[in-house]
Amino acid sequence: MPKITVAHSPDSDDAFMHYALARHKIPTGDIEFDHVLQDIETLNHRAATGTYEVTAISIHAYAHLHERYALLPHGASMGENYGPMMVARENYDLDEIKKQRVAIPGELTSAYLALKLFAPNIETVAMPFDEILPAVARGEVPAGLLIHEGQLTFGDEGLHNIIDLGKWWASETGGLPLPLGGNAIRRDLGEDLMKRTSSLLRQSIAYALENRDEALDYAMEFARDMETRRGLADRFVGMYVNQRTLDYGDDGRRAVQLFLDRGFEAGIIPHRVPVVFAE
């Protein structure tokens, strides 16, 4: 019996996406699935050694992993005119913020790549993504780059949204979505197992979208700072799990290639990467 470990972050959107597999809502035939939950930067680094058969990764990290993994055509988190936010206690203008030290959720994250495309010389310090918002609120760093639920809750701490990098990217690219995360599958599984695994993962996303209330009930167990705010959690899940998650779409695929191409041209990614999807 093939055993597939699916690694993803402990966030409400990823939980929503994988609900049907985690709670055995769809038949999986002879494939057994295990789930491992870790923060995205840990997953980025573990993918470098092929630790998991299927893993969530940052699109930025894919540039360093493409020989071992292929991107699945589903499971994407795309910012549709929204994305990682740079927040601060002071309401800096864009020239001022580029002179500040910014906390980031890791140098392999797509948030970091977008930030460096926006401000190539900005000073950064890495910390776990869920420690960034409180660190900014306490004044330990002047600014922080928020991913996940903090994009909706930063105002509770009296912080200012200095720039939304998803909006910035859309303005730079004629409205393309900002590629943030994707699901990747190890190439050495072979074509048949890759295809069957991919089909089941897509079915899990489709099940959640078609059975939203029960999938959201499950996702609420992972909704940091929104445990009693179902409407806000539903909004966050909808931002990053939607029809785009079922398939990148032609413009989404173009956006992934352009994002990595611009990272290479800016000297952030060491080589040009041809993006390969596991069809």
Beta strands at 178-186 and 101-104: parallel, antiparallel or unpaired: unpaired
CA gap 26, 207 in Å, rounded:
8
Q: What residues contact 190, with CB distance under 8 A and at least 6 apart?
A: none
Task: Tell me if residue 148 is catalytic.
Answer: yes
CA gap 86, 104 in Å, rounded:
9
Number of residues that this document lists for the chain: 279
Q: Token match 């079922």: residue?
A: 246
Where on the phi/psi map is residue 77: left (φ > 0), alpha (ψ -120 to 50), or beta?
Answer: beta
Query: 2: which 2 tokens?
Result: 């093939």
**Which entry of 66, 148, 160, 271 is annotated as an active-site residue?**
148
Residues serving a catalytic function are 148
